[in-house]
A and B are shown apart, each in its own frame.
Chain A
Amino acid sequence: MIEIKGLHKEFGKLEVLHNVNLSFQQGECIALIGPNGCGKTTLIKSILGMVIPGRGTILVKGQDIRKGVEYRRHIGYMPQIGRYPDNMSIGQVIDMIKEIRHSKETLDEELLEAFQLKKIFDKRMRTLSGGTTQKVSATLAFLFDPDVLILDEPTAGLDPLASEILKEKIISEKQKGKLILITSHLLSELDDLITHLIFMQDGKVHFHQSIEDLRKLTGEEKISKAIAQILKKSNNE
């Protein structure tokens, strides 16, 4: 569904992405992990068109992202920090995005219900807590039933209950055959969700493997331990 070929990106002299080649398929749930500044945010932003790639191509559902913006119709994005115009209400924000997408398909209002946002539709964004704002962001990402979901630290700031709701939603979407791309620091949270893992370091893809392969390779059940083992190995080499 998403093909990334030979992606390079520099910010001034700093090279943040170096020859990234990745391919994501339908039904995968991929965790994108790595230390701060490893380039994972830049990678996501490149896919979303917020960062303009230096070299290389990105294809989403076969469309080159440089040729038009329509490909984004297939993507739902949940930012790490959501900030919305202070004086818009929740309802207005959702209406506005609806207007932009003017999608005629039926909306997926499952999260809207689950997070009980309809009750506070008239509240202004300025008055919301960080967690509630994240709920709005999550709702927007899933609302249009997109084929690709890109979630940047989705559970950060959410209370355990909401976090659980979101996870269940992710799992059910995965089972519907969607592609889900998650960045996260907290690996333990992802154990039961993900099918693939990408570890990035210094702008390069360190490894990209399915969880099964990873477990077989390391003999570890826990993902965090598996990663630790691989990193140790590569450091020793």
Chain B
Amino acid sequence: MQVYSGIYKEGNLIITKSIYFEGIGLPVLDGQKKYEVLSVKANSVTICGFKIIRSGYATLNDPCGIKVYDSHHVNVINNTLYDNFFGIYLQYSKFCIIQNNSVTGLGVEEQQIGNGIHCWKSDSLQITANHVSGHRDGIYFEFVTNSVIWRNISEKNIRYGLHFMFSNSDSYISNVFKSNGAGVAVMFTHKVKMFNNTFSENWGDAAYGLMLKEITDSYILGNHFTKNTTGIYMEGTNRLLVEKNSFDANGWGMKIQASCMDNVITQNNFTGNTFDISTNGTLVLNTFNSNYWDKYEGYDLNRNKVGDVPYHPLSIFSVLVEKNPPAMLLFRSFMVDLLDKSEKFMPSLTPDNFIDQSPLMHSLQL
């Protein structure tokens, strides 16, 4: 079924049959701020080439630009969604592809706008090459399994660029999360793979490039964390491998709470961060090795490109600030420098096993 360009104010369109629903010349479907624009209630539907605007606004039934109900093999491709409450919403759906859509919200406050791409209790989804901005959460995953989020750009959303909960065995790869209110949150999940994403310019008191909470058996590889208040914040994470990531120009490279254990942090670059690592506890159950730290002042006599003295990435001042945030006022004062230097020689307050035994002399090409 093909629709030619024009403005269509049809109220709520419900698709109940398997059709190929194509817009030619970007026809506009206008929800007039009253209706859910497109509802998909059939399997094997493809929607492409539409501009879907102005869905209704309600907090009870979450009206959307496009909503997929209990269906499988639904493809949403090459659409533009603008000024909707929720953008694309999938529930109880399987084998769906959301690709190459532009989803723009005009949210100002968290309560008055829904998510860009919202997936709930679904399985085997592909979210690819979409651009989401101005919504509450750019991409929202809850109880979604075996899915992939690939090459999306999620920026300037009010809360999270990606909000990810109870969604096991998913991967997200090569996405860009930038300037979101609180960065990216990945919570209560195991077996998640995060490869080659960029997390940048997420600034604020509670903003994290990537916040990990109760995550187990996951793999973080090749990501770039740039100019965030905190690159990665970890709480209650177990058996994570953090490898070959770059942490550059963040306030805190990583904040690892004492509730984390058996995580391995290896072969990452820590450059230009105000603090590389911070923690709130004294017990260290995580392993750091073979990272590059630009603050490392050791030497390499045997020229094997590995520093001959171990590196303590935790500065005493970061511990103080963790306990008492306003102490940040004294950062880089002479007294604090003295404190840090003396602590480096004789660790007394920082855990002495918080250590990289084999710091690299040169940064890795990442």
Contact present between A and B (CB < 8 A)? no
Q: Which residues does A use to contact B, with CB under 8 Å? A: none
